[in-house]
Structure 1
């Protein structure tokens, strides 16, 4: 059905264009509450009822109430349509700059912030391809297999958050990035054959970047310090660092110098035991040829 040339979503889709606000995310709640209040004040200033506004923007009344109450995170198209309908001159649409950060879970925002500041990032990943290296299709297939299952909107939210972290590859000056992946992660069937091929091609592309070192740990290499879980080490321009390992310090991030030295020793041993970068790319090409 169309009204004034715009498609209006059916009642079953009324809640589609938004995300739930994490009540424990204080900053996120504050941002969305402020944006919702601005939307409501602007609508009331135009003397528009909720039902009329909902019809004009093409979304359900229930969603409008939730957005204005600060209980839903509006998507970009919602804010842009509201800006147009309420003749806000770009003020409402501009709120997207703050809203787009809130849509990602707080834990992911914090990780992305650290990655955006790091001058060196080192990661060992044992059971899957690291999130910074995943294609959207590969990441989606992983999230679709998660239990308990994500709702469609939550799936889109975590997928967008994961892809947003990959902006680290666009930074200038570029950080030094090193990755060690297990052979099993390369061979694991995630998604269709085409999804697997594109993921391997993505690894080859990233592995050839000048600021990236990509290594493969063959299954035949035997035991090594990474078998207890993932290891991540981020170093910053001021000389500080943060590290985390699934198999140490309860998996929590640490900046303690002694604990960091342990993680660096483990990561260094892993890199020494893995295939050299050139041989690793050849290995990935071989797996791609078998896929």
Structure 2
């Protein structure tokens, strides 16, 4: 049975038979800007920002979509099969901190489709050793698979640098005075409507851990599905003000983070475009 405290049918990539080299066809590249660098597609840039700096709400679906596309590009470069469905939304990120309440209302906190509904995750551990030898881009750790960074060499730095930056920002905002009242109200709502524990300091995270523990003790799949649906509705009912307040406080901080890291974000967006990502 699935848990949800954690961390697509349209074609978004060129076909798996497309050339592996990102620079093999100049027709795949955007027109150059005045300084000679390719122009960044605005929608790709928007998707990159959504993946780098999460916000509660529908932008999380854009982040999930791009993450699956990114992994599919890496899989193609390593000779593996990409995801078959890049719009699949079952691979959720941290729903306690960055909930997409519309998606949860539609599909619950856990999507109970077959495990391979969105396509099996590429197994990079099975990559031919000849592909893991070299070249090894800067920042790629020993034991990682260098072919993953063939088309997207900037992702290693982007993922390691930007995720830690944004985690620190999010935790700072959650601890701010502006969040305390809404956190207490959210915790009270969750406790009263579910009968499960939720702390005033970490209402959504502590409640989801309580839900995981509760669901893990149910005896049948039917019981699990019934109560998971009920608790998903409770979360949507109670977490709206929390998500709205948190998003509103994060948005100006995200603008600052984007400007400070624009060069890296734009480089990743250009690599995605050259690799065949279609937003």
Structure-2-length-normalised TM-score: 0.26
Determine which structure has the larger strand proportion and give its number: 1
Structure-1-length-normalised TM-score: 0.25
Larger CA Rg, structure 1 vs 2: 1
